[in-house]
Structure formats: C-alpha cells, structure tokens
Chains A and B, each alone.
Chain A
Amino acid sequence: MHRIEVDAEYDVLSLNKRLAKENREFLSKHGVVAINVMGAIGSGKTLLIEKTIDALKNEVKIGAILGDVIAKEDYERVAKHGVKAEPLNTGKECHLDAHLVHHVIEKFGDVDLLFIENVGNLICPVDFDLGENYRVVMVSVTEGDDVIAKHPEIFRLADVIIINKVSLADAVEADVDKMVEDARKLNPKAKIIRMDLKKGIGFEEWLEWLRCALRSRGE
C-alpha cells in the first residue's frame, strides 16, 4: 500500500455552470427575459411578482417559477393572477440552483417575461447562477437599515436593488438614505428603487425598468 496524489483541477461548480448555460441558451432561443427575484424573507418578493403580473399581463406574456422550501403557498398566490406558474420545492436547500430550474424551464418557452422567485435569504442563493438575465434583490426597511452593508455580495451582483416598505421607515427608525448610499457604494451600476409596494411608491419606476429590459431582450 502506498500513497499517491492525483491532480484534479476540477471546478466543483462546473455542473451548476453548465446547466445555467443551458437554461440561458434556452431562454435566449425563445426570446424570454428571465429575472431572478432574490431577497430577504418577507421583503415583498411574491407581492412584487403579483402586482407586476396585474400591471403588465395585457402587454406581455408572463410566467413564474416559485421557489421555496415549500413552494405551494407562493405558487397559489401567483397562479390566481392567471399566468403560467410552477412551484419548485427545494426541500432542505436554502436556494434554487440551475438544476432545479432546468427541470421546469422548458414549460416557459412561450412567455416573454419569466420571474424566478428564489428562496428568501440574502446569502445562500448568491453563488448559484440560474441562467437568468437579471438579478433583482429586494429588502425592506423593517429588516434594519444595515441590512445592505451586512450582505455586500448579493447587492454587488444585483442589477436592480429594491428597498421596500419605505413608508414604515420612521416607525422602525430606519434611515432609507443610508440604505440607498450603502447600495450605491457597493454597486454603482445597479438601478436602486425606493419602494412601498402596498402604497404604490416606486412601482412605476420598477415597471419602467422592466419595460426597458424587455425591449432589450436581456441583451
């Protein structure tokens, strides 16, 4: 018996990267713009998707993949709005990965806009590319105004950063300007939106960004 050392040079992330590439190629071939909706638990991700469907469903064909540990609740909420939706249970996992999305993506070749709602969490989903065109990260003032500074990686890689529930900022003593500044310093290229979904604040700005993304077809 003797010991040998075998060179590997193997990329442990290669499987996810390959499947993400396949997802991206599928989306591109069918002209679908896919948005990975990420963010904290209870920040308003599902409501954002519901309200966006209501606002845009006469303009574009929308689909939604709802990921969660148990995805049934979000799926039922979104399906009521009359679009094609698929629940994606992650079971024990705290994030979606390209493999899970790969199982259902072929059902969405006929939509223009596909929302993929990730598991509510600002850490685990970050390093798993799903093949999306854009990343939207949503947080709310009630999570504390240091939430952006504490999770730099997810905000650094976002295309849109939404700070929701701004109407509650005074009640929870959150400084929205600080949150915006933290986001801008980490990611000066991202679109930053101050929002209060239930009051309609910032929603038009979001729709405007989305229409622009749809026009450019994710390019």
Chain B
Amino acid sequence: MHELSYAQALLDEVLKLAEENEAKRVTKIRLRIGELLLINPEQLKFCFKAISSGTIAENAEIEIEFIKPEIVCTECGRRFDEVRGLCDCGGIVAVSGGKEFLLMSVEMEVE
C-alpha cells in the first residue's frame, strides 16, 4: 500500500500551507497525477482520510485531474494511447511525462 507514503507527503504539505495561511479548515485539495504513476486514486483518498483524521484537513475533498503521457514513435511520429516500446514501423517509441504528482491548490476556510 504505497499510497500511504504519498498521502503522508501530501498531508504534510497541505497542513504546512494551511498553517501559513492561518486556515481554520481545509475544504478541497486539487491534484494533477500522471496516468503512468502507479497510484490507485481510491486508495490515496482512503489513506488520506485515515491519516488526516483529527487535523484541520479532515474531510477535505480530493479532486484529481489526470495527465496523459506523450507516447510517440521516434521514427515515424505516430502517437499511441497505450505504453509500448516498439512501433509497427520498427522504430523505438519514446514515452515522456505521465509520472507527475502535483499538488496544484488547496481551498481553505480562513477568518
């Protein structure tokens, strides 16, 4: 369950931002996650819920936007939706991106 380590890193940063802004409560967390990152969004939410219990980020909604990788043949330029290493033309397919995990913004209640 490696989502737990991701959730912990996320919670640490969210609480740091909340503290800097003297927030009373964190209501929404916006993330951008690469499609190739091996992370299960439901498990991430579950872990976050468990570890944020008792903090001001408890019950915060997590909103995830997924980022597609670029999968392009280096020979013929054909693009693919799924990961592969070889194109039908025999060229090597290059994969870039899709491994991001970004905390974009945090919505919070302040005085």
Contact = CB atoms under 8 A, between A and B. Distances in A.
Contacts of A156: 83, 85, 95
Interface size grouping (class) on chain B: 35 or more
Interface string A166-185: 00000000000000000011
A4 B26 CA distance: 10
Q: Is the interface of B mostly helix, strand, loop or mixed?
A: mixed
Contacts of B67: none
A153 B83 contact: yes
Size class of the A contact interface (CB-based, 8 Å): 20 to 34
Contacts of B84: 185-186
Nearest to A151: B38
B83 A152 contact: yes
A202 to B, nearest CB: 21
Contacts of B111: 1
A135 interface: no
Contacts of A12: 6, 9-10, 13, 31, 101-103
A128 B5 CA distance: 11
A186 B108 contact: no
Residue among B10, B31, B105 having the largest count of chain A Cβ atoms under 10 Å = B105
B37 interface: yes
A10 B86 CA distance: 34
Contacts of A3: 27, 107-110
A185 B37 CA distance: 20
B85 A5 contact: no
Contact of A4 (B4, B95, B110): B110
17 contacts: A1-B111, A3-B108, A4-B21, A4-B108, A8-B105, A8-B106, A10-B13, A12-B9, A12-B31, A13-B9, A15-B9, A92-B4, A124-B1, A127-B99, A184-B85, A186-B83, A186-B85
The 5 A-B residue pairs whose C-beta atoms are closest, nearest first, are A124-B2, A10-B103, A12-B101, A8-B103, A5-B107
Interface of A: 1-13, 15, 92-95, 97, 123-124, 126-128, 152-153, 156, 184-189
